Chain A
Amino acid sequence: MLLPPVAALLVLGAIGAYYLALDPANEAYDQALIDVAIALGERIRVNGGDLGFDLPGAAEQVLRTDRYDTIYYLVRRPDGTRLAGDAGLPAPPRGAVPEDSVIAYDGVYHETDLRLVAMLVPCGGRTCTIQVAETTKKRRLLASNIALSGIVTSAVIALLLLGLVWIGVKRGLTPLEDLSSEIRARSARDLQPIDSARAPEEARPLVAALNQLFGRVEEASANQQRFLANAAHQLRTPLAGLQAHTELALSHDFPAAQRAELEQLRTSTIRTARLANQLLALARAEPGGSRGDVVAPANLRAVVEEVVDEWVHRAMAKEIDLGFELADASVVGDTLLLREALANLVHNALEYSPPGAHVTVRTGVRNQRPFLEVEDEGPGIPAGERERVLERFYRTAGTPGTGSGLGLSIVREIAAAHGAAIEIGAGEGGRGCKVGLTFPHG
Chain B
Amino acid sequence: MIGRVRILIVEDDAALASGIARILEGEGHAVDVMAKGEQAVLGARQERFDLIILDVGLPGIDGFEVLRRLRAAGDRTPVLVLTARDALDDRVHGLDLGADDYMAKPFAMPELAARVRALVRRSQAQTGPKIVHGPLVLDTLARRATLEGAPLDLAAREWAVLEVLLARVEKIVSKESIIQAVANWGEELTPNAIEVYVSRLRAKLDPSGIRIRTVRGFGYMLEEYKELHAGQ
Binding site for B on A (CB under 8 A): 229, 232-245, 247-248, 251, 269-270, 273, 277, 280, 305-306, 308-309, 312-313, 316, 321-326, 335-336, 339, 358, 360
Contacts and interface: CB of A to CB of B under 8 A. Distances in A.
Contact of B217 (A239, A245, A309, A326): A326
A271 to B, nearest CB: 11
Given A243-B19, A324-B215, 15 more contacts: A232-B85, A238-B13, A240-B13, A241-B13, A243-B106, A244-B19, A248-B23, A269-B106, A280-B86, A305-B218, A308-B174, A308-B215, A323-B218, A324-B218, A335-B88
A244 B82 CA distance: 14
B23 A322 contact: no
B150 interface: no
B20 interface: yes
Contacts of A312: 172, 215, 218, 221
A309 B171 contact: yes
A216 B55 CA distance: 34
A325 B215 CA distance: 11
User: Which among B23, B84, B85, B174 has the highest number of chain A CB atoms within 10 Å?
Assistant: B84
Interface in B124-178: 170-172, 174
B193 interface: no
Contact of A316 (B106, B213, B217): B213
Counting contact residues on chain B (CB < 8 A from A), the size range is 35 or more
B106 A273 contact: yes
Interface in B166-209: 170-172, 174
Given A277-B86, A309-B171, A339-B88, A324 B217 contact: yes
B215 A247 contact: no
5 contacts: A233-B85, A242-B106, A309-B172, A312-B215, A316-B213
A232 B86 CA distance: 8
Interface string B80-98: 0010111110000000000
Interface in B6-63: 13, 15-16, 18-20, 22-23, 26, 55, 57
B19 A323 contact: no
Interface in B98-116: 104-111
Nearest to B19: A244
Given A308-B172, A335-B88, A248 B22 contact: yes
A245 B57 contact: no
User: Which among A240, A245, A309 has the highest number of chain B CB atoms within 10 Å?
Assistant: A240
User: Which among B82, B105, B171, B221 has the highest number of chain A CB atoms within 10 Å?
Assistant: B105
Given A233-B57, A251-B26, A313-B111, A241 B19 contact: yes
A312 B111 CA distance: 13
Interface residues of B, dominant DSSP: mixed
A245 B87 CA distance: 26
A137 B193 CA distance: 112
Interface of B: 13, 15-16, 18-20, 22-23, 26, 55, 57, 82, 84-88, 104-111, 170-172, 174, 213, 215-218, 221
A348 to B, nearest CB: 18
B109 to A, nearest CB: 4
Contacts of A247: 19, 23, 108-110
B109 A244 contact: yes
Contacts of A326: 217-218
Contacts of A325: 217
A245 B216 contact: no
A306 B88 contact: yes
A115 to B, nearest CB: 97
A245 B26 CA distance: 13
A289 to B, nearest CB: 14
A266 to B, nearest CB: 9
A323 B85 CA distance: 28
Given A240-B106, A247-B110, A269-B106, A233 B23 contact: no
Nearest to B15: A241
A330 to B, nearest CB: 18
A324 B109 contact: no
A304 B22 CA distance: 35
A248 B22 CA distance: 8
Contacts of A245: 15, 18-19
A71 to B, nearest CB: 105
B217 A323 contact: yes
Contacts of B170: 313
A415 B104 CA distance: 25
A242 B87 CA distance: 22
Nearest to B110: A247
A236 B105 CA distance: 6
Contacts of B221: 312
A269 to B, nearest CB: 7
